[in-house]
Amino acid sequence: MQVVYSPRHLAHDIDTETFMGIAIPANEVAERAERIRTALEADGGFTSMDPTAHGEAPITAIHDERLVRFLEVAWSEVRAQAIPRAFLSADTYPNIAMFEGMSPDAIERLVREPSHVGGRAGFWGLDSAAPLVAGTYDAACAAVDVALTTMDLVLDGATTAYGLCRPPGHHAARSMYGGYCFFNNAAIVAHAIATSTGERVSILDVDYHHGNGTQQIFWRRGDIRYISIHADPARAYPYFLGHAEETGEGDGAGENVNIPLRAGATDADYLEATDRAIEAIGGAPGSIVVVSLGFDTYGLDPIGDFALTTSVYHEVGRRVAALGRRLVILQEGGYHRPSLGENARAWLRGAEGRSFEPLPVAGFTEQGTVV
């Protein structure tokens, strides 16, 4: 399988995020992508290539151009406004209750983007967990190029291809970044496929978290079906979207399929959910599926609460590929660094119908014992 990778992700050089008012060690770090790259190289069955530049048009086809401009200048504004921080995190977010009683028209006329960069980050941001640094914009643009180059491989005839996107994308909505995501790599690709082929496209999101951004972007669209398996938002980020009752509206009615799972979900629970998701994909025409691939469903993930093992990723990859559709597979989350490479190898080998034999990882076994 071809793997698309760019070292430009290293520019999004993060070591701290904010969580409920305090600074904690960052989860979404460069080591994640490097672990996966190294494991796929060691496998021998994967060929790595650089992305090609696709320009800004595919991004602004999905995102508000003003969000793109904010992300482009945010770090220089932090410096220009002499804000003494190692990364940008918002001051104030516009909670919808702030505007209660105002008409949509009044909100549209009167509420505006502030000039203070802490206010601007609140205007465009979802949460304080997406630290923005000097190289974030360039890395986010590179992740989109990685995703679109992976798409090109599949449009040119590959059955499967994998884009090692970093930063991830599925929490980014049309006019919002957040949840470690800046541009929605999978949504940009799904839209580009639908536009260039005229076919319907399905997105299968198997990250632990609900992809609120992808759901928002395609909520009213009949040409792109979004199917997500994730932690119930009652207990997990992004908290306010991801319920089973969210099924889409207008042309998109019935095209949004959310499958929330309980804490402690096992391999068996996950395979059952996978079969439901596969059935939902099979119910829509089209020959290409975009996979938002996350490994924060793993039992040892520091921010998830599922109990999955490496072997189930092989089986999920196998079942998804058995649909007989071509797969554009894009990396989203997954924060237990020692297991990321093996979990990616397992999933991708499954998707190619190949067997999976675990390779040793220094200092780590699946049970968590240091050897």
For ligand Q9C, the binding residues (CB under 6 A) are 19, 129, 168, 171, 179-181, 207, 209, 237, 294, 296, 303, 332-333
Quote the least distance from Cβ 173 to ligand Q9C, whole Å.
13
Q: Which does 171 bind (CB under 5 to 8 A by kind): Zn ion, ligand Q9C, none?
A: ligand Q9C
- Chain-centroid distance, C-alpha 187: 9
Quote the least distance from Cβ 348 to ligand Q9C, whole Å.
19
Quote the least distance from Cβ 207 to ligand Q9C, whole Å.
5
Q: For 319-346, b where at least 16 C-beta lie within 10 A, e where not — what string?
A: bbbeeebbbbbbbbbbbbbbbbbbbbbb
Q: Which of 307, 282, 86, 59 is nearest to 185 (CA)?
A: 59
Q: Which does 246 bind (CB under 5 to 8 A by kind): Zn ion, ligand Q9C, none?
A: none
Q: Which does 303 bind (CB under 5 to 8 A by kind): Zn ion, ligand Q9C, none?
A: ligand Q9C
Q: Which does 233 bind (CB under 5 to 8 A by kind): Zn ion, ligand Q9C, none?
A: none
Q: Which does 336 bind (CB under 5 to 8 A by kind): ligand Q9C, Zn ion, none?
A: none
Q: Which CB, 206 or 281, lies closer to ligand Q9C?
A: 206
Q: What backbone torsions phi and psi does residue 143 show, to the nearest 5 degrees? A: -60, -35
Q: Which does 179 bind (CB under 5 to 8 A by kind): ligand Q9C, Zn ion, none?
A: ligand Q9C
Q: Which residues bind Zn ion (CB under 5 A)?
A: 207-209, 294, 296, 333
For the chain, report the end-to-end CA distance as a whole number of angstroms: 31
Q: Which CB, 153 or 181, lies closer to Zn ion?
A: 181
Quote the least distance from Cβ 356 to Zn ion, whole Å.
23
Q: Which CB, 170 or 325, lies closer to ligand Q9C?
A: 170
Quote the least distance from Cβ 296 to Zn ion, whole Å.
4
Closest residue to ligand Q9C, judged by C-beta, is 333
Peptide bond into 338 cis (omega under 30): no
d(CA 256, CA 227): 6
Q: Which CB, 130 or 151, lies closer to ligand Q9C?
A: 130
CA distances to 163, 171, 191, 353 from 331, in Å: 6, 13, 17, 19
Task: Give the HSE-up count for residue 65: Cα atoms under 13 Å, Cβ half-sphere.
Answer: 3
Q: Which CB, 75 or 180, lies closer to ligand Q9C?
A: 180
Contacts 24+ apart (CB under 8 A), 30-35: 30/166, 31/337, 32/166, 32/334, 32/335, 32/337, 32/340, 33/5, 33/9, 33/164, 33/166, 33/331, 35/337, 35/338, 35/340, 35/341
Run of H or E including 196: helix 185-197
Whether residue 270 contacts residue 304, with contact meaning beta carbons closer than 8 Å, is answered with no
Quote the least distance from Cβ 237 to ligand Q9C, whole Å.
4
Q: Provide the annotated active-site residues.
A: 171
Q: Which CB, 194 or 204, lies closer to Zn ion?
A: 204
